[in-house]
Amino acid sequence: MIPKEPSAGGGGRRRTRTGAVAAAVLAAAALTVGAGGCQDVSTKTANRVELCARIVGKTFTNPFPDDVEKTKKEIRERADELDSMAGQASDEKLRTAIKETARKMRGAEVKGKGSSRTVIGYIADQNALLEDLRKTCLNRDDYK
């Protein structure tokens, strides 16, 4: 038991509890405000990551399609989808990367079965196609 000081009139404990409660309330308020800021950042990050993943999913094509013309049409349609998805980007750098990826998709050469295309050639083509998008989607500084 903590001895009471005679001059305090026995109220020393009450002031200590009141101070602790006040400190807890202030700490809770600070954490709430801080958490709100974190939530905003993490929501933006999550939205950006989701958009990047959706875009990357639209860029991959069949490396050896049976019908080259049908595949070209599908690629153009996907590029159009990317252009419309660019409007969902949270920043200009990502928006530009998405539009550049769509532009590259429209210009991509499609080779059918039996062509001289190799798996390594396909991977190199996909790598070139995704270059701009990869630079911004994987750059941690772009998530700040």
Domain boundaries, the chain: 11-143
Give the tens place of pLDDT for each residue, 116-140.
Answer: 667 788 888 888 888 888 888 888 7
DSSP single-letter state for residue 86? G
What is the largest distance, in Å, between two alpha-carbon atoms of the chain?
Answer: 99
Task: Give the per-residue pLDDT at 126.
Answer: 85
Report d(CA 119, CA 77) in Å as an integer: 24
81 has pLDDT over 90:
yes
- pLDDT, average across residues 61-88: 91
pTM over 0.85: no
Task: Give the per-residue pLDDT at 79.
Answer: 95
Contacts of 99 (CB under 8 A, 6+ apart): 82, 83, 86
Confidence bin at 61 (pLDDT 50/70/90): confident
Q: In the predicted model, what is the mean pLDDT of the chain?
A: 76
Task: Give the per-residue pLDDT at 96.
Answer: 94
Task: Give the per-residue pLDDT at 31.
Answer: 42
Confidence bin at 109 (pLDDT 50/70/90): confident
